[in-house]
Structures are given as structure tokens and as C-alpha cells.
Structure 1
Amino acid sequence: MAIYIGIHLFFLAWIIINRLFLPALPKQPQLSADPLVSVLVPMRNEERNVEVLIKSLKNSTYGHAEFIILNDQSTDGTQAELERAIAEDSRFTILHGTQLPDGWVGKVHACHQLQQAASGDYLLFVDADVRFRPKAIEQSLSLMQQKGAQLLTGFPAFDVAPFLSKLLVPMLHFVILFHLPLALANYTKFKAATAANGMWMMFESRSYQKIGGHTAVYDSLVEDVHIARKVKKHGFKVVLANITMSVKCRMYTTNAEVWEGFLKNSYAGIGRSPVIATALILFYSIFYILPPFLALYGLFSGFYWWIVPYLLTVAQRWYVDMVTNQRWYLSFLIPLQAAAMLAVLVESMRKSFKKQPYSWKGRHYS
């Protein structure tokens, strides 16, 4: 038990040290130039998100920006809501998406069409369910200039309404701070140490064009990570930042959406590797699902130190939640969060083995 506790103490120390290499957006941005930023938003059946997103865009304090939104063949009221919310604001352009070509992933094709209409020196791709503070654009630009980066990306704070969202979505931050060596991710061109999030990706436009843009990852279900690796491959710098104090997102509104959304990315996100999947299943089962059972045994048997591993897993989760602007009390659910993550990984792997398609927003992908 002493060794098991020692391992968990090491995990906690690692997370704390690793976080030191995750730069935050500056509270008071300092810009060395005032370039044009094209904010590009793909939308497919996003009627419920239009009003709040447009409000965020309109409230932006960065004055040299254009806002381009692509309605990607929505079948709901997205178009009507866009026209109503934008009204006569000349900074906005609405595009209508073309038919999805064979082999392309829907979001990737939407982003490709958006960049074709953009004029900016910088391209900021934003998901429709994102909300952000007025200074978020200039904060991102400021950090890019400060770090000399050609791509800045980050994971927002998450508004987790459905129960399954409370389990799975916060694990995105945990996986980054626990598994990704951020010193390698942010200070080297090492492609394997790369993470990115398509909800918030700001590219320097010329570098984006040199890597081939979204065309270079046209068939990827995890296009954000793959395009970030392309940036590194071409010798450019990628910065993964803590954007949680300025950017927020409600990814899903139903448990079914949560399951489908994670299902399409879970196995693909680890390169469809059964070896890595097996290692993750064993690792999380031993170190994050087992501790509450040990704690219960210790509680009823009088071996109270057996409770310590569970408390240390909660401490790890709490620290991640604290630095990423998440609800602290969700840290006590870490065993259920780990179990849910493994469940979606196993099902995603099963679908891949059986060549069953993944579904998202009415489209199917293999």
C-alpha cells in the first residue's frame, strides 16, 4: 500500500509541475501590431447557440476583425437565427456550405470553405458552442506574438449540464495535464507531444497556407491534433494555452450527444492503437477506478490509510479543476469519470474493429 500511495503522490506532483509549462492568456494583452483577424465559425444545426455566440462576437473589444460564419447545410432554424442576431452589422458575412465531397469530414470541409473567404493575417477558428470574454481575441493574439507562435490553441472552461457531460468532458483537461508533457508540447517541434482543440485555434495565415490548411487533414476525425502536427512538421511553433478564464463552452446538451461526440474521437484520438487502448484500460482501472473500493474496505476494516489513494486521486482531479476553471466538487467523481472514459473508449474501439460508422450531426464517418 505504501508503494501505491507513493505512486499517487508522484502523479500529483507531476500534474503540478507539468502545469507550469501551460501558459495562460494574459489578463492585460500587449500587442506589437494590429493585424486583421478573421474569426471563422462553422455551423451545422446550431440554432440554439446562435444568439449567445453572436453576442460574444459583437462584444469583442478587438477592433480589427471580420466575422465569417458558414451555415453548413443546416436543417433547423440556424439561418433565420443568424440573420436575426446579426441584423445590419457589417462585420459579419454568412456563407452557405456546399455539398460535402467524398472522403471529407464535415467540419473540416466547413473550415476549408471558411478560410477561402477570409482576408485576415490571422485566422481564428471557433466552434458555435463557444462563448468568450470581450478581450479573448486580443489576449490570444498577444500570447501568440509573445511566444512567436504560428498556432495557438486551448481547451475552454466547460459548462457541463448533462450527467454524462459531467463525467466525460472535464477529463479533457485531466488528460492534457496528466498525459501530455507540456514542456515538449510547447517548447519543441516533437510531433508526438501535440494536443490541440478545434474549438479555439488561431493560426498565422501565411503559415496556415504553407502547411496546406485544412485540405491537409481533409479525412481526419481529430483534425485539430493532426493539423497542429502539420504545423510542427513544417518547423512552425504551436502553443497550447490555458484559455479557461476567457473562453467557455457547453459542448453538449443531452447525454446522447455526449456519447456520440466522444465516441467518434475516443479511439481515433489515440491513433486507433489497440496497444495504447489496452494500456489505458489497465492504467485507469488500477489507479483511478480501484481506489474507492480500497477506501470502502479501509473504512469498514479499520485500515484507514487505505482511504489515502482515493483522496489523492481527488486531489489530482481538484487541482486540475482549480487551474482550468471547473467545478471543484466534480473532483470526487474521478472514479466514475475514469470508468466513463474507458467505457466510451471500449465502445469506440469495438465500432472500429467491426467497421461500423460513427455518427455526428446526421453524417456518418468510418
Structure 2
Amino acid sequence: MLLPILILNSLLLALSLLNSLTLRRPVKSAQVEDSILVLLPVRDEESNIERVLGELLGQENCSNLSIFLLNDNSSDRTRHIAENFASPRLKILDVPEPAKGWIGKVNALEYGLSRVKTAHDYIISIDADVSFSKNAIADSIATIKALNLDFISPYPRQIAKMWGERLIQPLLQWSWMSTLFLRGAEKYPFQSTVVCNGQFLVMKYSSLIAAGGFASVASYVLDDIELGRAFVKSGFKGAVIDGSEIAATRMYSSFTEIKQGYGKSLHLAFGGFIGTLIASILIIATSIAPLIFAFTGDLIALAALFAIIGTRLVSALSSGSKLRDCFLHPFSAALLIYLLYYSWR
């Protein structure tokens, strides 16, 4: 039983190494002249809004950048703080209540898109809790142009401080680094191999409109993944790129927030309960069973354990996460399974 697990984990390690060596990274840009619109949906983001607007308005090498701040019924000081930024490049829009069946964030993004009066070259959607380097926007635009793609997803570095975060957050990038051949998915896109992160998403305006805009994913909780699939379904191509040097985010600051966040959507990631069950079996087999059998002195189990930890180390080196946390991977896997079934409650 353990030999097939060793073979599988070794293949995952080989794929992780291949992806690490070929992972797309941002192209350095001197100056970008393209017309760029940033859509920033916010709801009760008073702790982030001053920082993120300062970073966006301070972007370098992109002179034709404008920002729509989409105030999605904030009940705190978000709008008041934003109004202190007197910039002609910033427009504050109050988003109406979503129609029945629409997800709030998607409604805000579609509303912002509907208020565009002149076509832009690129649309960028971001989350307020993401921090950006001074060249993040320009480098991202230079990258999508150099690759001749319709959308790219610069994956931010995931900041994790507390133990719950450190066990779970690195699994986000590891999940696609170790299971998808990224260059293959880029060249021959399928809806099932889309990697798309709405925290920082760069899109050709014309391609977004042709794919149906944000309205095409109006009711989806995993709206970013589904938007990527809408692009692919419409014949467009995209890619995930390493965004760890140009963007960073801390999604959650407590285990309660982790449960709330993953509880809303994790069960949807595997396409239903059967998919969840299959994923659970694979996670147990590749990530937990090797540790259990390694305690019996089984050398094959030990090798399988080293191989799966190796995939985490490769992912951590690519994403800038803590290397020492990789050695706790079996416990990360156990926590992931707990959250997966918690999301079905």
C-alpha cells in the first residue's frame, strides 16, 4: 500500500520542482502608457483603506491609472477616510444593493464596470487587504503584455502569523504548485485547470467584456475561479504568476476568521460531496498516512513523508512563506480536512 503512495508523492514533488523552475514571474517595467482602471470593492475596510489607496495612488511607471473605489454599503469610516484623498484619479462610487441571487462583491465589481464611460486597455480587480509594491501595477501590465494573455493572476505572498494561519494559508499556493502543470494549463487551457485569485487579478478590458463581465459569475461564491473559467470558456487564455515580490496579504488574523472564511466556500472547491470525499482520501493517503507508518519504522513511509514535505518546501521557496512550517504538513493536512467538512455543516 505504501509503495504507490511513495510513487505518487514523488511525482507530486517532481511536478512541484518543474512548476517552481518555470513559474511565471513579473516583468520589470520602465513605463506603461496603457489605460488602466483599478476596481477596489470595499465594505467596512477602515483599517485598510488609507494604506491601500496610498499605495495605489503612489504607483510608479503607470501614468494612465485611475481607480474606482466601490463602497459596498460600508457602515464604518471607510468612505470618510477615502474622501480625504483629493485625487482626480480616484472616483468613489456607492454601490446599490445587489439583485436577488447576486454575491455582494461581484455586484460591486459589475457596478464599477458598468460605470466605465471610455474603454480602458486593462481592468484590475483587487482586495483592500492586499499590500502593493510601488511597481506592482506597472510590472503586472508589462507581464500580461509580454505573455500576450487575456488575464493573469499575480498570486500575493500570504502573510501568516498565528498557528492556524501558518498551518493553512501556505496550502493555497501549494495546492496548485503540486497538482497542476502550470505551463501546460496556460498553453492548453481547460476550465478544470484554471487558477485565478481575485485578490489581485489583471484582465484585458476587451476580453473581460467578451467573457460576459462580472455578471457571468453573479451567483458564484468562488467568483474568481469561475471568472477564470468564463474567460477560458470564451476562448481566452490566462495564467497564475508569482506575485510574492509585488503584493502581500494577510487574509485572516484568528482561527475564528479562518473557520468563517473557509466555511463559506471550501466545500465548493471540489465540485460536490463525492469530490470532497475523494480529495479527503487522497490528502490522508499522501500527507497523513506516511507520518503514521513512519513511526513504525517503515522506510517507504518515511521516504513518502519526505517527498510530500519536499513539495511544501518547494512551494515555500517560491512563495516566500516560512520553511520550518513545511515540516508540520501532516498537521496542516489534518486541519484542512477538518475545515473541509466544517464547510459542509
What SS class does the counterpart of residue 47 from structure 1 fall into?
coil
Distance apart, 1:297 and its partner CA: 3.1
Normalising by structure 2, we get a TM-score of 0.93
Partner of 2:130: 130
What SS class does the counterpart of residue 99 from structure 1 fall into?
coil
Tell me how far apart the structure 2 counterparts of residues 122 and 219 of structure 1 sit (CA, whole Å): 24
Tell me how far apart the structure 2 counterparts of residues 297 and 52 of structure 1 sit (CA, whole Å): 52
Partner of 2:15: 14
Distance apart, 1:305 and its partner CA: 6.5
Tell me how far apart the structure 1 counterparts of residues 339 and 4 of structure 2 sit (CA, whole Å): 30
Distance apart, 1:30 and its partner CA: 6.0
Partner of 2:25: 24
Q: Larger RCO: Structure 1 or Structure 2 (Cα < 8 Å, ≥ 6 residues apart)?
A: 2
Partner of 2:274: 275
Say whether 1:290 aligns with 2:289: yes
Matches within 5 A, 1:168-187: 168-187=168-187
For the aligned residue pairs, the C-alpha RMSD in angstroms reads 1.9
Asked if the contact 2:3–2:300 (Cα under 8 Å) also holds between the matched residues in 1, the reply is: no
Distance apart, 1:154 and its partner CA: 3.0
Distance apart, 1:102 and its partner CA: 0.7
Matches within 5 A, 1:127-206: 127-206=127-206
Distance apart, 1:224 and its partner CA: 0.9
Tell me how far apart the structure 2 counterparts of residues 135 and 292 of structure 1 sit (CA, whole Å): 43
Tell me how far apart the structure 2 counterparts of residues 128 and 308 of structure 1 sit (CA, whole Å): 42
Show structure 1 runs of 5+ residues with no match: 352-366
Tell me how far apart the structure 1 counterparts of residues 14 and 102 of structure 2 sit (CA, whole Å): 42
Q: Which amino acid letter does the alignment assign opposite residue 309 of structure 2? A: V
Tell me how far apart the structure 2 counterparts of residues 207 and 2 of structure 1 sit (CA, whole Å): 46
Distance apart, 1:310 and its partner CA: 2.6
Say whether 1:327 aligns with 2:328: no
Tell me how far apart the structure 1 counterparts of residues 45 and 269 of structure 2 sit (CA, whole Å): 25
Distance apart, 1:2 and its partner CA: 5.2
Tell me how far apart the structure 2 counterparts of residues 131 and 307 of structure 1 sit (CA, whole Å): 39
Tell me how far apart the structure 2 counterparts of residues 19 and 192 of structure 1 sit (CA, whole Å): 21
Say whether 1:218 aligns with 2:218: yes
Partner of 1:47: 46
Asked if the contact 1:73–1:97 (Cα under 8 Å) also holds between the matched residues in 2, the reply is: yes
Tell me how far apart the structure 2 counterparts of residues 192 and 304 of structure 1 sit (CA, whole Å): 36
Partner of 1:230: 230
Asked if the contact 2:195–2:239 (Cα under 8 Å) also holds between the matched residues in 1, the reply is: no
Tell me how far apart the structure 2 counterparts of residues 111 and 19 of structure 1 sit (CA, whole Å): 32
Tell me how far apart the structure 2 counterparts of residues 296 and 167 of structure 1 sit (CA, whole Å): 22
Deviations 1:166-210 (A, max 9, x none): 222111101111222313321123222111011111111111111
Distance apart, 1:29 and its partner CA: 2.3
Tell me how far apart the structure 1 counterparts of residues 274 and 4 of structure 2 sit (CA, whole Å): 26
Partner of 2:57: 58
Tell me how far apart the structure 2 counterparts of residues 223 and 40 of structure 1 sit (CA, whole Å): 15
Asked if the contact 1:97–1:113 (Cα under 8 Å) also holds between the matched residues in 2, the reply is: yes
Matches within 5 A, 1:254-265: 254-265=254-265
Distance apart, 1:19 and its partner CA: 3.3
Normalising by structure 1, we get a TM-score of 0.88
Q: Which amino acid letter does the alignment assign opposite residue 324 of structure 1? A: S
Asked if the contact 1:144–1:239 (Cα under 8 Å) also holds between the matched residues in 2, the reply is: no
What SS class does the counterpart of residue 267 from structure 1 fall into?
helix
Moved more, 182-191 or 97-106: 182-191
Aligned residues: 341
What SS class does the counterpart of residue 60 from structure 1 fall into?
coil
What SS class does the counterpart of residue 245 from structure 1 fall into?
strand
Say whether 1:307 aligns with 2:283: no
Query: Percent same amino acid among aligned pairs?
Result: 23
Deviations 1:279-324 (A, max 9, x none): 11111111101222233333xxxx6665333333222111101011
